[in-house]
Amino acid sequence: MKVFDFDNTLYHGESSIDFALFLIKNNKRIILWLPTIFWNLIKYKLCLVSRNKMERTINDFLKVIITDKSDLLRMAELFWSKHEKKLDHELISRIESDDVIITAGPEFLIEAIKAKLGTSHLLCSQIDYENKSIICLNFGDNKVRRYRGLYGGSNIDAFYTDSYNDKALMEISHRVFLVHKGKVRQIK
């Protein structure tokens, strides 16, 4: 089985950041969150932010963006109609129906594009829409816990990612491919 990270791997960019920018048109209060979002993204890329800190920041942000679930799902559909072009179709063509996509991105955002991804096996961050909070941030070690919870002890044949933040998944993979701007390089 192959496992693929989503942001900066299958999608050129950070889909959650792009979605937040997209939402500004409908909710100007999001502008106030941009410095926090970008600062935490930089710290994430440098492996300098804890999962707890990320969860607190995301929960605060969710209280701003979620008015109701149906509106959020509709906005995710509209987002993908404009941002589907940022998907890496060449890399997506490697995905088979039993492969897994694992991401820290929210489930509502990735579910909205699932039909284009070649698999229905998605492990994303889970949201409690009623309480406007994270149930499970699929980040760092949580990715491995959730993977193991669903797929048991089976190791990953090939793992594709853009970041060493996924070190825990790299460790349970036979082969690891680092993806940078659409270029794939085997590192393990």
Please list the pLDDT of the chain residue by residue as tens digits (188 residues). Answer: 999 999 999 999 999 889 988 887 777 777 777 787 778 767 766 767 776 777 777 767 777 777 788 888 999 999 999 999 999 999 999 999 999 999 999 999 999 999 999 999 999 999 988 888 889 889 888 899 999 999 998 889 999 999 888 999 999 999 999 999 889 999 99
- Cα separation of 177 and 188, whole Å? 7
Residue type, 140: G
CATH number of 2-186: 3.40.50.1000
pLDDT at 45: 66
Give the domain ranges of the chain. 2-186
pLDDT of residue 24: 79
Position 171 scores a pLDDT of 94
Give one DSSP letter per residue of 18-78, joined into a string. HHHHHHTTT-GGGGGGHHHHHHHHHHHHTT---HHHHHHHHHHHHHHH-S-HHHHHHHHHH
pLDDT on residue 132: 83
Residue 101 has phi, psi (to 5 degrees) of -110, 130
Other beta carbons within 10 Å of 86 = 13
